[in-house]
Each structure stands twice: as C-alpha cells, then as structure tokens.
C-alpha cells in the first residue's frame, strides 16, 4: 500500500479518496474548507495543513480541483505542491484544466526530480461509487506504470493516451459531447411534451430507446427533478466547453453544436440557475418554449 496525498475534496474528489481508503491506502488530504474533509478523516484519512505538506508526506500526490486557476493556486507558492515535491515522487492531476498549462506545469514538476501525469476521469458520482469510472492518463509511460495499480482502485478502465496534456484534451473532447447530448435530449422531451405527451412518460420512453447513452440514463431524470447537490453544475460545464472551443479555434476544428450549447449555458447563468447540474439546459429550453418547469425548480 502506498503513501498517497489528495488535494481537492469536492463531490468527485471526496469519492475518489473513499475508494482509495477502502483499498487500504494511507491518504493524507487537504481542502480549502476543512469541513469537507471531516467525513474522510473519520474513515482514516490524515489531515495536512497545506498542499505542500500533503506533497512532503506522500509518494503519490493527487489533485482534483475546479479549473486551471485552482490547479495553479494549489501547486504554486511557498505552501504549494511544487514546493513539497522531490525526486521519485509522482504528481497526478485529475482536474480538467488547460492542456497548455498542464504541459507547462509538467516541466516544472520535472525540474524538482518528480514526474507529473494528467489523469482526468470520465463518469459521474454513480459510476464512481459503482467502481465503473474510466480514467485517461497523459505523461511518461514509466510513471504511468508506477501509478496504474492505484488508479485501478479508483476505476477499472485506465488508458494511457499520450504525453502530458493528451489526457486532459481527451477529457475535454468527451465532455463537450455530454452537454450536447443533454441539450438534444431536452429538445426531444419538450417536443413530446408540447405535443401533449406527459413529460414523465416521454422521459420513460426515451430512456428505454436507442438514444439512452450511459450519461442520458443517469442524468435524463434530472429534467423531472434536479439533485439536491449538483453533480456537475452549469458553470463547471461551461468551463469545459470554453476549453473545447479554444482548442477548436487553435486546431481549425469547427464545433457548431458545442458553440450553440455553450450559449444556452450562458443563458442558464443569466437566469440564475448556473449552480444547478448542467441538466438545467432543459430549464433554459423550456423557458424559451414557453413551458412551465416548476417540477425541477
């Protein structure tokens, strides 16, 4: 069992730590708000007073934070992860952040004698709890082989996709499809509802049809009732959509459905529902269609 460190204990990060603890690993944790760490400390996790201390006490250091700016906030400075790294250590960033920033950070990690991997996950709270997450990894193959058994305790499908930045690019490519699928599903539900079919019946039938991807299977019911705590809110999804559009512009890849969906995420923020799961795309479209959506309010 390895000495692990984990920074960032949101819905997904906290769930990952639970799986690592269940696998028998020693995990030292830090989060901006300690309250989120308390349930994990009760399960045996150890608290550190800074990201630097997490890195100093761990052979493998993981982060899963909100965005590029948050990655930089926990890695840089006197109390940052970079200051606590050293030869032989491996830093694994599971955040969805800028690929360019990831590559630059990997170079700085290498200067300390450590190695960095980007390893974002694909899945939800449910797939994490079920042990069905898939994980994409970018970076040095030797470092990947060292961390592979740990990653397999988080999710059974782990893919090495290339050098640093490749995995987070793959994650962005996947996430743009999540939002586009959710918008298309919402269009179908509203078309059925406004033609006279009960919304619950429309959702039931669509979830039994060929369009029911795994994501639509667990998120489609959110058009009937949003979860108490957003799994992945509109602002987080828009961050990923903007990363995708930025890559598309740089690589000359047109992303028309991504751009259109992104505008409706902007509308969700303008309507004051950006804190909801990105299934709130349905609420935006319902408002545009003149359909009441008190059920998911």
Residues carrying an active site annotation? 171
Radius of gyration of the chain (CA): 20
- 116 - beta bridge partners? 91
What single-letter DSSP state applies at residue 6?
Answer: E
Q: Which of 69, 113, 93 is nearest to 171 (CA)?
A: 93
- Dihedral angle, C-alpha 143, 146, 152, 154, nearest 10 °: -70
H or E element that contains 118 = strand 115-118
Question: How many whole angstroms from its chain centre is CA 43?
Answer: 23
In 3-state terms, what secondary structure has residue 195?
coil
- 62 - beta bridge partners? 6, 92
Terminal C-alpha separation, the chain: 46
How far is Cα 289 from Cα 280, in angstroms, rounded to an integer?
14
| CB-neighbour burial class of residue 249 (10 A; exposed 0-12, middle 13-18, buried 19+) | exposed
Angle CA(114)–CA(139)–CA(17) in degrees, nearest 5?
Answer: 75
Neighbouring C-beta atoms of residue 281, cutoff 10 Å: 28
């Amino acid at each position: 069992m390895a000495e692990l460190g984990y920074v960032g204990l949101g819905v997904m990060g906290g769930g990952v730590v639970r799986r690592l603890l269940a696998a028998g690993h020693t995990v030292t944790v830090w989060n901006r708000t300690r309250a989120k760490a308390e349930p994990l400390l009760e399960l045996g996790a150890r608290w550190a007073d800074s990201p630097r201390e997490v890195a100093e006490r761990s052979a493998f250091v993981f982060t899963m934070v909100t965005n590029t700016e948050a990655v930089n906030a926990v890695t840089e400075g006197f109390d940052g992860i970079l200051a606590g790294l050293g030869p032989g250590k491996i830093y694994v960033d599971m955040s969805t952040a800028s690929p360019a920033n990831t590559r630059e950070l990997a170079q700085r990690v290498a200067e300390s004698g450590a190695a960095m991997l980007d390893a974002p996950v694909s899945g939800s709270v449910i797939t994490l709890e079920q042990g069905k997450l898939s994980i994409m990894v970018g970076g040095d193959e030797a470092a990947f082989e060292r961390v592979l058994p740990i990653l397999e305790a988080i999710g059974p499908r782990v893919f090495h996709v290339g050098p640093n930045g490749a995995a987070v690019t793959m994650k962005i490519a996947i996430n743009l499809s999540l939002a586009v699928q959710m918008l298309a599903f919402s269009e179908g539900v509203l078309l059925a509802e406004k033609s006279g079919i009960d919304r619950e019946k429309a959702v039931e039938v669509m979830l039994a049809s060929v369009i029911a991807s795994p994501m639509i299977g667990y998120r489609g019911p959110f058009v009937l009732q949003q979860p108490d705590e957003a799994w992945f809110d509109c602002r987080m999804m828009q961050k990923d959509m903007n990363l995708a559009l930025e890559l598309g512009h740089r690589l000359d890849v047109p992303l028309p459905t991504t751009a259109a969906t992104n505008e409706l995420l902007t509308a969700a923020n303008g309507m004051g529902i950006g804190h909801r799961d990105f299934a709130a795309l349905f609420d935006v479209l319902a408002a545009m269609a003149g359909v009441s959506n008190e059920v998911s309010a």
